[in-house]
């Protein structure tokens, strides 16, 4: 069994608890152990970068230093936290002066950053570390006939310019591959790499609603049953504000937004309850019932 350090991040404690439990459940089935990081702190989100860049990197460095003590690579489910920690690590490794400065601060918590731990997104874990082929072998209940739109969002791939281990930056396919591996039909929609509006939902609602509208419409135009995300902020923006988008634009959008780990879990035969299905605003019931009707046909595992 392969073991990783795991940083849930603040959103996964409550708001996106379904992402947390479904990630852990899927990992277990795939023979991966995720050990929660002890005493982790907030990654600083985007707000800390509005105040002080070094301070923002220090917040991530504390988490990285705690992870290093376990000797395990660090898995992060939230795309925002992932971007912060991945790039804090890169900056500190490339800039010894910055690392020295931040290490002086970390001494106050008896910690030291050395750059020995890699940072992985949960999507990266399942696609590349576990592997799509391994997942195919473990699928018990292929989600046949379900049209699933894999939404990448921004912070998993960008601000990288070149292809990374996780996949290509401008024309990625790995999320589609994962959706296909669980038996669903991946929907190719033009806005799969567009922004969900992020914190503009608070700071400029009009702009965020426009972005959410364009994104969802783009998925609906391609006949999407369920849209899956790999980020708690994208999930909240796309589902909680769908009603407000409909008011604003006179549309009748009704797209269930799930975490990809929830559908992966279903395909792996994990009961819905253990995946937090039902806690979404726009119910996925109707779409999922389409799949269960076909369950009568026995599937070899």
Partner 1 sequence: MATKPTFSVEVSNLLQSVASKPLSVCMQCGTCSSSCPAAPHMDHSPREILALIAAGQRDQVLASNAFWYCASCYQCTLLCPRGINIAEMMYALKRFSLWKRSYPKGLIGPDFSSRFVKIVMKTGRSFEPGLAPAFIFKHGVRGLMNDAFIALRLLLKGRLSLVPQRIQRIGNFRNVVGRILPLARAA
* Residues in touch with partner 1 (CB under 8 A): 10-11, 13-17, 39-42, 44-55, 57-59, 62, 91, 95, 98, 101-102, 104-110, 154-155, 158-161, 169-170, 194-195, 197-200, 202-208, 210-211, 214, 240-241, 243-244, 247, 279, 281
CB of 91 to partner 1, least distance (A): 4
Quote the least distance from Cβ 136 to partner 1, whole Å.
32
Structure tokens at 227: 């849209």
Please state, in angstroms and as integers, the Cα–Cα distance from residue 121 to each residue in 128, 209, 223, following that order. Answer: 10, 27, 28
Q: Which is nearer to partner 1, 58 or 117 (CB)?
A: 58
Distance CA(107)–CA(112), nearest Å, equals 7
Shortest Cβ 205–partner 1 spacing (Å): 5
Q: Shortest gap between Cβ of 143 and partner 1 (angstroms)?
A: 24
Comparison of 184 and 211: residue with beta carbon closer to partner 1: 211
Between 11 and 229, whose beta carbon lies closer to partner 1?
11
Q: What is the DSSP string of the chain?
A: -EEEEE---GGGGTTTHHHHHHHHHHHHHTTEEEEEPTT-----TTHHHHH-HHHHHHHHHHHHHHHHHHTS-EEE-SHHHHHHHHHHHHHHHH-HHHHHHHHHHHGGGT----S---EEEHHHIIIIIIIHHHHHHH-SS--TT-EEEE---STTTTT--S-BTTB-SSS--HHHHHHHHTT-EE---TTTTS---TTHHHH-HHHHHHHHHHHHHHHHHT--SEEEES-HHHHHHHHHTHHHHHHHHT------EEEHHHHHHHHTT--GGGGTTT-SSS--HHHHHHHHGGGGS----
Q: Which is nearer to partner 1, 134 or 168 (CB)?
A: 168
Question: Cα(18)–Cα(45) distance, rounded to whole angstroms?
Answer: 20
Distance in angstroms (rounded) separating the CA atoms of residues 268 and 29: 7
Of 31 and 49, the one with the shorter C-beta distance to partner 1 is 49
Rounded least distance, CB 53 to partner 1, Å: 5
Q: How far is the CB of 235 from partner 1 (least distance, A)?
A: 11
Q: Select 185 or 262, whichever has its Cβ closest to partner 1.
A: 262
Rounded to a whole number of angstroms, the minimum distance from the CB of residue 217 to partner 1 is 14
- Using the minimum distance from each CB to partner 1, give the nearer residue, 156 or 270: 156
Look up tokens 């473990």; give the residue. 138
Q: How far is the CB of 274 from partner 1 (least distance, A)?
A: 15
CB of 159 or CB of 298, closer to partner 1 = 159
């Amino acid at each position: 069994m392969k073991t990783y350090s795991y940083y849930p991040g603040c959103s996964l404690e409550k708001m996106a608890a379904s992402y947390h439990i479904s990630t852990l459940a899927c990992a277990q089935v795939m023979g991966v152990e995720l050990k929660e990081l002890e005493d982790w702190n907030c990654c600083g989100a985007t707000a800390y970068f509005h105040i002080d860049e070094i301070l923002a990197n220090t917040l991530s460095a504390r988490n990285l230093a705690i992870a290093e003590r376990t000797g395990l690579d660090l898995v992060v489910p939230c795309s925002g936290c992932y971007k912060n920690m991945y790039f804090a690590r890169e900056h500190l490794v490339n800039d010894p002066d910055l690392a020295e400065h931040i290490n002086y601060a970390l001494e106050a918590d008896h910690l030291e950053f050395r750059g020995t731990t890699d940072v992985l997104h949960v999507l990266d874990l399942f696609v590349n570390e576990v592997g799509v082929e391994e997942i195919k072998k473990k699928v018990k209940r292929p989600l046949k006939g379900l049209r699933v739109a894999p939404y990448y969002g921004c912070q998993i791939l960008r601000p990288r310019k070149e292809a990374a281990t996780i996949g290509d930056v401008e024309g990625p396919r790995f999320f589609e591959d994962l959706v296909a591996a669980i038996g669903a039909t991946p929907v190719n929609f033009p806005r799969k790499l567009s922004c969900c509006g992020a914190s503009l939902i608070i700071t400029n609602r009009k702009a965020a609603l426009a972005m959410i509208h364009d994104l969802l419409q783009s998925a609906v135009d391609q006949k999407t049953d369920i849209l899956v995300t790999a980020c708690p902020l994208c999930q909240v923006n796309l589902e909680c504000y769908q009603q407000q988008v409909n008011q604003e634009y006179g549309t009748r959008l009704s797209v269930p937004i799930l975490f990809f780990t929830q559908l992966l879990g279903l395909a792996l035969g994990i009961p819905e309850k253990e995946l937090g299905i039902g806690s979404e605003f726009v119910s996925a019931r109707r779409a999922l019932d389409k799949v269960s009707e076909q369950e009568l046909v026995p599937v070899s595992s």
